[in-house]
Amino acid sequence: MSEHVLQVEGLSKRYGAVEAVEGAGFTAGRGRITVFLGENGAGKTTTLKCILGFLRPDAGRIVIRARRLGYVPEHPVFFTWLTGRDILSLTGRVYGIREADLSGHVSAAAAKLGFDEGILTRRVQTYSHGNQKKFSYLQNLIFTPDLLIVDEPFSALDPVSIKRVRDIFLELKGQGRTAFLSSHLISEAEKIADDVVIIKKGRICFRAKLAAFRENHVLPDPSLEAIFLHFAR
């Protein structure tokens, strides 16, 4: 079995005259947390959406070797007519979780996230932004994805929830699962990142295993912020 759960080769995507992503290539290893960094408009979200099949790449190849693919968008939007409980029930059924087991899965995941199960009877669109984000994590955690793709993992979350979400990524990693995180919050990402991919103006300008890169002493300051500022600007 390949060690690369996600493999992107020569990915290009153009919007009219604008080349949003140009020949991007990188991988995400099994049981690792890969952080995807870039300035605003660098092509992070376009890349993510190509990986998820929401956008059609103009060129390139995307291989996902995960049976269960999870996704937490930056601003989650759910089917407006469904309550939180409905969505979890539907997700559980799709992933073969028995109704009897579902509440256990939900409670366990809700406890990890600090999510109030009492609001699950309401339609998700009535939740606060923070709770919508947590609910999106909750939806993913009940079926424990092999590859979890997250766009801005810490946005809309309070500091306590950020810590909880970080712990969840580390737990998934401990289970041999893969997380691919596109983030602006370098300080938070640094605490959990194994691998880093940096995109600049649609091109991948840096990709490395963080520990190995630091050992080579390429930069005097080995912080992720310094790496980002050096390569992305």
Partner 1 sequence: MKAAKSLYGLAAAFLAVLAYAGMKDTPAAALKFFLFLFPYVFLLLSQDMVRGEVDSGSLENVIFLRQDFRRYLLGKNAVIALLGGLISFALFGILVLASARSRRFDLHDFAELGAGLVAGLYYTGLGGFLSYFLKAGSNVLVIFLGQAAVAVSFLLSAGLNTGFLQNLSSGFFPDFPSRLKFIGFVALLPNTVVSRKFLPWTVEVAGLSLVFFWLQFRMAARLELKKQ
Q: Tell me the closest approach of the beta carbon of residue 3 to partner 1, in angstroms.
A: 24
Q: Tell me the closest approach of the beta carbon of residue 97 to partner 1, in angstroms.
A: 12
| CA angle (191 as vertex; 6, 43 as ends), nearest 5 | 45
- By CB under 8 A, tell whether 80 contacts partner 1: yes
Residue 3 backbone phi and psi in degrees, to 5: -80, -10
> According to CB under 8 A, which one of 2, 18, 54, 171 is a site residue for partner 1?
54
Report yes or no: 91 and 136 within 8 Å, Cβ to Cβ. no
> According to CB under 8 A, which one of 35, 69, 172, 204 is a site residue for partner 1?
69
DSSP secondary structure of 119-137? GGGSBGGGS-HHHHHHHHH
CB of 86 or CB of 194, closer to partner 1: 86
194-233: contacts with partner 1 (CB under 8 A): none
Site string for partner 1, 123-152 (x = CB under 8 A): ----------------x-------------
> According to CB under 8 A, which one of 45, 89, 161, 183 is a site residue for partner 1?
45
CB of 124 or CB of 210, closer to partner 1: 124
- By CB under 8 A, tell whether 63 contacts partner 1: no
The H-assigned helical ranges of 57-158 are: 84-94, 99-113, 129-141
> According to CB under 8 A, which one of 26, 78, 213, 231 is a site residue for partner 1?
78
Report yes or no: 11 and 25 within 8 Å, Cβ to Cβ. yes
- By CB under 8 A, tell whether 111 contacts partner 1: no
CB of 12 or CB of 208, closer to partner 1: 12
Cα–Cα distance between 40 and 184 in angstroms, integer? 9
What is the b/e burial string over 63-100, where b = at least 16 CB atoms within 10 angstroms of the residue's CB? ebbbeebbbbbbebebeeeebbbbbbbebbeeeebeee
CB of 123 or CB of 166, closer to partner 1: 123
Report yes or no: 202 and 24 within 8 Å, Cβ to Cβ. yes
Q: Parallel, antiparallel, or unpaired for β 69-72 and 203-209?
A: unpaired
Cα–Cα distance between 220 and 60 in angstroms, integer? 35
Q: How many residues bind partner 1 (CB under 8 A)?
A: 23
- By CB under 8 A, tell whether 27 contacts partner 1: no
- By CB under 8 A, name the binding residues for partner 1: 45, 49, 52-56, 69, 71, 73-75, 77-81, 87, 90-91, 94-95, 139
